[in-house]
Amino acid sequence: MAQKNNLKYIILGLLSERSLTGYDITKAFASDIGEFWSANHSQIYPLLIKMEANGLISHEIIVTGAKLEKKLYSLTQTGTIEFKTWLQSPTPELSASKDEFILKLYFIENSTDPLLPEMLAEQLMLHHNKLVHLQSQMTNKFENTDRKQAQFGHFLILQHAIERETAYESWLQQTINNLGD
């Protein structure tokens, strides 16, 4: 999907909080941000180089141990402005949520299709696991109210993700139950 370079804005946003290496940014997609966006290091490193060439970020070399060189990236003034401009711009498009299971379900014509029970059970397990994971994230990150204040947006989207997965799970469960009729 050729999107509107959203990855660039994620990187700008992460760097607006503090300076980071490419590795740190990659790790962010394995935890926090990974809940609602994905990116690989092979996409991140070249983009960092490009963004630096475009004057959005700059780096300094940090040496760890004897000789391991890290590039610590920071926002430039231009980058800060570009990030704020993006945040303030409208988001008028609702992208289709590409869910392969939903795709398969579309092609199931009959409620008596023998594939259905297994398909639904598999997804129920996946979404249940996801829900449990999100709930533990919520507990870990926002058990004290201070952080809920300091990372309000993050709190909101976690809350939203939990509600989304709850609804998904409940729809699957209902559908499974109704198959028995």
For the bound state, the minimum distance from the C-beta of residue 87 to DNA, rounded and expressed in Å, comes to 18
**Which of a second copy, DNA, none is residue 77 near (CB under 5 to 8 Å by kind)?**
none
Distance CA 26, CA 34 (A): 10
Instruction: Tell me the longest C-alpha to C-alpha distance in the chain.
Output: 69
Find out whether 138 and 158 touch, Cβ atoms under 8 Å: yes
Is 90 a binder of a second copy (CB under 8 A)? yes
Task: Write the DSSP symbol of residue 64.
Answer: E
Is 164 a binder of a second copy (CB under 8 A)? yes
Distance CA 34, CA 2 (A): 19
Interface segment toward a second copy; rule CB under 8 A; list 51-59, 73-81, 95-103, 134-142: 95-103
Q: Contacts with a second copy in 7-66 (CB under 8 A)?
A: 9-10, 13, 16, 33-38
Could you say which of 31, 64, 110, 140 contacts DNA (CB under 7 A)? 64
Continuous H helices in the chain: 6-17, 22-28, 41-53, 77-88, 100-106, 116-142, 145-150, 152-179
**Which of a second copy, DNA, none is residue 75 near (CB under 5 to 8 Å by kind)?**
none
Is 150 a binder of DNA (CB under 7 A)? no
Q: Distance of CA 146 to CAs 14, 74, 136, 155, Å? A: 20, 26, 18, 11
**Which of a second copy, DNA, none is residue 66 near (CB under 5 to 8 Å by kind)?**
DNA
Return the number of other C-beta atoms located less than 10 Å from residue 122's C-beta: 12
Residues making contact with DNA (CB under 7 A): 1-7, 21-24, 26-27, 38-43, 45-46, 48-49, 64-71, 98
Residues making contact with a second copy (CB under 8 A): 1, 3-4, 6, 9-10, 13, 16, 33-38, 83, 86-88, 90-111, 113, 115, 119, 122-123, 126-127, 130, 149-154, 156-157, 159-160, 163-164, 167-168, 171, 175
